[in-house]
Structure 1
Amino acid sequence: MTTSEPGPPGQSPVNRREPQVDLPANRRERKKLETRAALEQAALRLFAEKGYENTTVEEISAAADVAVRTFFRYFSSKQHVLFGDVAHQRISHLRAALAASPPDETPLHAVGAVLDALDLDQDEQEQIVVRLRLLEQQPSLIGMYLMLNYELRETVSEFVANRTGLPTDHFYPLLLAGAAVTSWDVALHTWLADTSGTAILADLRRTAFGALTAGLPETPTAPAVTAPPAG
């Protein structure tokens, strides 16, 4: 903004430009967040009303009062807007956290510690509730939920295989990865079914992971192989 200051007697005022404050950038960021939230809310409402398969990107965009091209600036697909960043970013966060775990940690301890560190906060839990309720109403979406779990399991098994030098299809990486994902899945559904409102999601997940990994050794061992009978 330009302001005028009195100049020397008999001369015109001196114009000075004040320092620019970065408010426009802040406003742009707020606008982006608002647009993203509007698209998510419109999509979830339409999915619940019309069904996921019967809802188009054009309808979501119209309900949020934005252009279709704007939708694709924020989401790559209907599936992306369905599960949101809380699910999709969980995979990338999990991969990064596992890669950053101390190299001297056993895989069992590293996976458990990372799961603890990535437990959902209150806002993320609220987002998950909305989406799980929608899954209950639209069973056709369960396949997408299972695909996310598959990606989570692959992420953990790849880490365990790299940490131990075992192939990704070895029983130990697969068991540990399966325990990690199953503990998350069981905790979510148990927590969602709790009508008292006293269940704590992180505690449920931790308890489930402990129970599922109780028989796993810190150091992987090969399973016993029985020779086939002579024929």
Structure 2
Amino acid sequence: MTATAPETRQGTAPTGPGSQPPGRRERKKQRTREALVDAAFTLFAEKGFDATTVEEIADAVDVSSRTFFRYFASKEDVALTFQEEQTRAVMAALAERPPDEPIMTALRRTVVEIARACERGELGFDPDRFQCLLGMMSDSPTLLAGSLEHAQKKQQLLTRIIAERMGTDPATDLRPHVIAASATCGFQAASDVARRHGDAFGSLSETIDQAFAILEQGLNS
């Protein structure tokens, strides 16, 4: 069974049964938000993350800095929209994995699938934006810290999804917490190796695959 990621544009309104199409005001807000993200990544690619200012991002869209802060809490928040899209895609794809698939195998295949989609520009991902984000995290300790904080916050959601797959209660079962933490650490370790050592272990998706293979096989082997 092949998992399919949802629409990856940040903030896109649902279109499933019973949902209402967004009104004109919401569509305008969404266009402004997307324009800010597009402008930000254009500037990030040209100038780098640290050299780009909120004022420059707002000016590129012809809005005020005050308007910018209605949509984003910070410059880091804009840069990490891509990571948020990745996370949503991973959570959705994991929920679609076969229920009898071992949990670490399901996690490995899901995370590698989404990483490959980011690299290849599949499932709605922009590969240039993905590479831009990876480069910025190598150059900016502030953004890297924000990325790690984001992953930590999402770990609780991942724990719940894992518990549901296992048919257990995370309030009384430690296993979903340990598995979620291991998956988070495996991804972060692979990302760190990719940033520090370039292509020594292959592409990022290949490095992630190797990291999760270690987890899947067991650390004592």
User: Scaled by the length of structure 1, what TM-score is found?
Assistant: 0.62
Question: Does residue 59 in structure 1 map to residue 56 in structure 2?
Answer: yes
Q: 2:39 is matched with which residue?
A: 38
Per-residue deviation, 1:122:
3.7
Secondary structure of the corresponding residue to residue 51 of structure 2 = helix
Secondary structure of the corresponding residue to residue 87 of structure 1 = helix
Relative to 1, partners in 2 of residues 1:160 and 1:33: Cα closer, same or farther, differing over 3 Å? closer
In 2, Cα distance between equivalents of 1:108 and 1:196: 25
Relative contact order higher in (CA < 8 Å, ≥ 6 apart) = 2
Relative to 1, partners in 2 of residues 1:71 and 1:167: Cα closer, same or farther, differing over 3 Å? same
In 2, Cα distance between equivalents of 1:181 and 1:215: 16
Larger radius of gyration: 1
Question: Does residue 139 in structure 1 map to residue 137 in structure 2?
Answer: no
Per-residue deviation, 1:96:
1.3
Give the counterpart letter for 1:192 in structure 2.
R
Relative to 1, partners in 2 of residues 1:46 and 1:60: Cα closer, same or farther, differing over 3 Å? farther
In 2, Cα distance between equivalents of 1:88 and 1:46: 20
In 1, Cα distance between equivalents of 2:135 and 2:48: 14
Q: 1:112 is matched with which residue?
A: 108
Confirm or deny: 8 A CA contact 1:158 1:168 kept in the other structure: no
Identity across matched positions, percent: 25
Per-residue deviation, 1:43:
5.2
Give the counterpart letter for 2:77 in structure 1.
H
Relative to 1, partners in 2 of residues 1:59 and 1:133: Cα closer, same or farther, differing over 3 Å? same
In 2, Cα distance between equivalents of 1:198 and 1:116: 14
In 1, Cα distance between equivalents of 2:127 and 2:203: 11
Per-residue deviation, 1:105:
2.6
Relative to 1, partners in 2 of residues 1:42 and 1:208: Cα closer, same or farther, differing over 3 Å? same
Q: Which one of the candidate residues 205, 208, 218 is aligned to 1:205?
A: 208
1:178-224 CA distances to partner (integer Å, 9 max, x unpaired)? Answer: 222222222222223335677222221111111123238xxxxxxxx
Per-residue deviation, 1:78:
2.5
1:17-63 CA distances to partner (integer Å, 9 max, x unpaired)? Answer: xxxxxxxxxxxxx999777422322356374226xxxx3x333212x
In 2, Cα distance between equivalents of 1:39 and 1:193: 25
In 2, Cα distance between equivalents of 1:149 and 1:35: 23
Confirm or deny: 8 A CA contact 2:163 2:170 kept in the other structure: yes
The size of the alignment, in residue pairs, is 182
In 1, Cα distance between equivalents of 2:48 and 2:58: 11
Secondary structure of the corresponding residue to residue 80 of structure 2 = helix
Q: 2:18 is matched with which residue?
A: none
In 1, Cα distance between equivalents of 2:141 and 2:93: 32
Structure 1 unaligned runs (5+)?
1-29, 217-231
Structure 2 unaligned runs (5+)?
1-30
1:82-128 CA distances to partner (integer Å, 9 max, x unpaired)? Answer: 223x2111121122112222223332232222223212324555434
Q: 2:79 is matched with which residue?
A: 82
Confirm or deny: 8 A CA contact 1:39 1:71 kept in the other structure: no
Question: Does residue 192 in structure 1 map to residue 189 in structure 2?
Answer: no
Per-residue deviation, 1:170:
3.6
Q: 2:163 is matched with which residue?
A: 161
Per-residue deviation, 1:168:
5.3
User: Scaled by the length of structure 2, what TM-score is found?
Assistant: 0.64
In 2, Cα distance between equivalents of 1:129 and 1:49: 18
